[in-house]
A and B are shown apart, each in its own frame.
Chain A
Amino acid sequence: MTSRLLSANHAAGLAAVMAARANRTARGFCAAVYPITPQTECIEFLSSQAIEKGHVVHVESEHSAMGVCLGASATGARSFTASSSNGLAYMAENLIAAALLRLPIVIAAVNRTLGPPWSIWADHGDSLLFRDSGCIQIYCADNQEVFDSILLAFRLAEDPSVLVPAMVCLDGFVLSHTLCQTEVPEQEVVDRLLPAMDLPHRLTDTPVIFGGLAASPRQIEVHRYRHQDALDHVLEIYPAVQDEFEQALGRRPGNPVVHYRTEDAETVLLSAGSLASTVERAVDMARDKGERVGSLRLRMVRPFPFDHLRRALEGRRHVAVLDRDISLGFGGILGGEIRGCVPPGAAMQDYVVGLGGGDVRPEHVLDLVGDLRLRPDSPRSHLVEVGR
């Protein structure tokens, strides 16, 4: 294990390279990449590395990037790409195809708000476009978590009981361009964590059509049922995979819902990504004043950790969800999902905050704690302005 000063973009790229090398004894690695701010350094790093039995294809669009990944993964190679914002939107058709074809492709989604108007700063509207696509979605709060989660994503996606794409989400600039000390394991450790990929339904010389016509509704029903079942499996195997990673790396990947000072908290603040780090500082400040406040970080958005959330919200009096996204015409996306896990009697409020990279500070979060106690319970999201 060595400690290296890495941006999250380079951490994601390095983890992908190590995962690539780990599959050299199987059918190799084939990535496809296209630049877009703020993920570009990830693919630059990927392209700068020598990969035994690996190849990086420099395509003409994000749509084709995922197209190449489809072909590579369908023929049994480990595959990876990275994108952001409108690049992810442009990739959408093929990313949905990757999920429905049950191909374990890993995508680093470096969060950036969708345009126009064009802005390069972070919110989660881009990756949450794929909430319903059938991919695993993990949201990271620091660079180490990004590195570990890329490896974890390959492990989960390629599990024979799962076989779906996995998207690792990290906030643009806040993480992507910020250097942090990152623990990097030896290649042998990654080789053990990520055994040779063996896609059971890969294309061989046997004449079959992969992804052809399923004319009967029954076939689609069965297909979707199995896909849903596969995502449920992620949460079932997750503790065992956490154990594997802890033994190999000496650190345990985070739970689907990460608690911070929630033991006796009457009020919990729920958020995702690097926003949760700010919320945790606000929790410290509130605790200093004697308030019983805690933070919950939704690390895994898909599969949705119903049970973890139910347990985490049990007995709370106030629940605030901080959404760095908005479903226009509805409100905060996570708020809408989490409402069903809030126990009867608890008041919940959803705040849409930090869109387009709005700089959410601990003081803003403390204001929300005050607002939460006074605001009458409402299913409508409250839009908070923090931008200047």
Chain B
Amino acid sequence: MTARSTQTRVAAVAELESSCLLRPGNTNCGGCGMSIALQLLSRATAGRTVQLVVPPCCGWVTGGNYPHTAYGASVMASTLGSVGAVASGMANVARLNSEKTRVIAWAGDGATYDIGLAALSGAAERDEDVLFICYDNEIYGNTGGQRSSATPSGASTTTTPRGKRGAKKDIVGIMMAHQVGYVATVSLAHPDDAVRKMRFAVDARGFRFLHILSPCPTGWKADSSLSVHLVRLAVRGGLFPVLEARDGALVVNVRPEFSGVALAEYFSHQRRFRSGSVDVADILGAVGRHWAGLERWGARLENGEPLGPIGPQGSAAGPDGGAR
């Protein structure tokens, strides 16, 4: 290799790294949904100046020990319960100084659904110029896997060894009820849709919220090669609706099959559901009720068509021929 081509390659790598939100050499687990999500977000933020706000979570450990950082953007490490507030302060100062900096809150489910919910709600209600992204691994992963209010019913965690009782909190519904400019869910199995939403959300003004189902192979006790597949199954089964709400319209981007087979496979790959009793028929019933709720919000498919037969009956008669 000539000196010149080496130089060019070094420059190319440097350029890649400079536009990359998550740099090589980070210590994240293999198959981490958050890592995949950050790679997708890098594409959406390319060419833009962003500042991240990250609470103590896996995304915080991602950065590495002082003085190193695996992040390709400056990061404000906030306290766990104040991501929305800290991001608000940063966004206001950027606005006062006519800066183009986009402030992005990057928080796990604990800092979104639980301890940070009040600060998130406050920032949303004030319509702060903040993009709040929740990577939801349904667990307090960084502390070793305790239940959060995002943990689904039946999942065992270190604090719910016999499976969590009670449903997962509907954070997307909560955020839509705030009537902010943009609320969307992001499927890691649908990267085109994901990057489109991220790019829109990065550039839009006012408060925006993205919810990402982020598999955690460690906490979900699943093979790290299956992370994207698990998300695809969750979407097919209707467990994770892929949607976006803006301008008063709620659009479903990927029509689920309400497939009991997909859900059964989703649960079977994750040993966190082994000790609890997860009944796919029950889950399908809950999925149907959730989608009926989305219909009440006025959800339509991308082409404007109604969602079609959903609800417990509709879902039970899905393309896979029912629950079990």
Give A contacts to B, CB under 8 Å: 27-30, 32, 53-55, 57-61, 63-77, 79, 93-94, 97, 203-216, 219
Minimal beta-carbon separation of B18 from chain A (angstroms): 8
- Interface size of B in residues (CB-CB distance below 8 Å): 43
Contact A203 B66 (CB under 8 A): no
Q: How far is A288 from B132 in the complex, measured between Cα atoms in Å? A: 67
Contact A30 B92 (CB under 8 A): yes
Contact A70 B66 (CB under 8 A): no
Q: With CB as the reference atom, state the residue of chain B lying closest to A210.
A: B76
Known: A63-B81, A63-B85, A94-B79. A27 touches B69 (CB 8 A): no
Q: Which residues of A contact B76 (CB under 8 A)?
A: 70-71, 74, 203, 210-211
Contact A209 B71 (CB under 8 A): yes
Residue from B71, B75, B122 within 8 A of A60 (CB atoms): B122
Which of chain B's residues 92-121 have a Cβ closer than 8 Å to chain A?
Answer: 92-97, 101, 118-119, 121
12 contacts between A and B (CB under 8 A): A64-B88, A68-B89, A68-B92, A75-B93, A79-B89, A94-B85, A209-B71, A209-B77, A212-B64, A212-B69, A213-B65, A214-B66
Q: How far is A29 from B96 in the complex, measured between Cα atoms in Å? A: 8
Q: Which residues of A contact B118 (CB under 8 A)?
A: 60-61, 63-64
Minimal beta-carbon separation of A258 from chain B (angstroms): 35
Give B contacts to A, CB under 8 Å: 49, 51, 53, 60-61, 63-67, 69, 71-79, 81-82, 84-97, 101, 118-119, 121-122, 125-126
Minimal beta-carbon separation of A221 from chain B (angstroms): 13
Known: A71-B89, A93-B79. A30 touches B96 (CB 8 A): yes
Contact B85 A213 (CB under 8 A): no
Q: Which residues of A contact B91 (CB under 8 A)?
A: 71
Tally of A-B residue pairs with Cβ under 8 A? 166
Q: Which residues of A contact B75 (CB under 8 A)?
A: 207-210, 212
Contact B63 A209 (CB under 8 A): yes
Q: How far is A73 from B93 in the complex, measured between Cα atoms in Å? A: 9
Contact A28 B96 (CB under 8 A): yes
Contact A206 B81 (CB under 8 A): no
Known: A61-B122, A68-B86. A208 touches B81 (CB 8 A): no
Minimal beta-carbon separation of A63 from chain B (angstroms): 6
Contact A215 B122 (CB under 8 A): no
Residue from B49, B69, B126 within 8 A of A205 (CB atoms): B49
Residue from B49, B63, B85 within 8 A of A71 (CB atoms): B85
Given contacts A57-B88, A203-B76, 6 further A-B contacts (CB under 8 A): A27-B97, A59-B122, A67-B81, A68-B88, A71-B93, A205-B49
Q: Which residues of B contact A68 (CB under 8 A)?
A: 85-86, 88-89, 92
Q: Which residues of A contact B85 (CB under 8 A)?
A: 32, 59, 63-68, 70-71, 94
Minimal beta-carbon separation of A96 from chain B (angstroms): 9
Minimal beta-carbon separation of B86 from chain A (angstroms): 4
> For the complex, would chain A's binding face be called helix, strand, loop or mixed by DSSP majority?
mixed
Contact A60 B65 (CB under 8 A): no
Contact B64 A67 (CB under 8 A): no
Contact B93 A27 (CB under 8 A): yes
Contact B97 A71 (CB under 8 A): no
Q: Which residues of B contact A69 (CB under 8 A)?
A: 89
Q: How far is A32 from B61 in the complex, measured between Cα atoms in Å? A: 29
Q: Which residues of A contact B87 (CB under 8 A)?
A: 71
Contact B65 A214 (CB under 8 A): yes
Q: Which residues of B contact A54 (CB under 8 A)?
A: 96
Minimal beta-carbon separation of B126 from chain A (angstroms): 7
Q: Which residues of B contact A205 (CB under 8 A)?
A: 49, 73-74, 101
Q: How far is A55 from B93 in the complex, measured between Cα atoms in Å? A: 9
Minimal beta-carbon separation of A78 from chain B (angstroms): 10
Q: Which residues of B contact A59 (CB under 8 A)?
A: 85, 88, 119, 122, 126
Contact B88 A70 (CB under 8 A): no
Q: Which residues of A contact B94 (CB under 8 A)?
A: 75
Q: How far is A205 from B97 in the complex, measured between Cα atoms in Å? A: 14
Q: With CB as the reference atom, state the residue of chain B lying closest to A65.
A: B85
Q: How far is A30 from B66 in the complex, measured between Cα atoms in Å? A: 28
Q: Which among A53, A79, A213 has the highest number of chain B CB atoms within 10 Å?
A: A213
Known: A27-B96, A208-B74, A209-B77. A67 touches B69 (CB 8 A): no
Q: Which residues of A contact B121 (CB under 8 A)?
A: 60
Q: Which residues of A contact B71 (CB under 8 A)?
A: 207, 209
Contact A72 B89 (CB under 8 A): yes
Known: A28-B97, A213-B60. A74 touches B81 (CB 8 A): no
Minimal beta-carbon separation of B147 from chain A (angstroms): 22
Q: Which residues of B contact A206 (CB under 8 A)?
A: 74
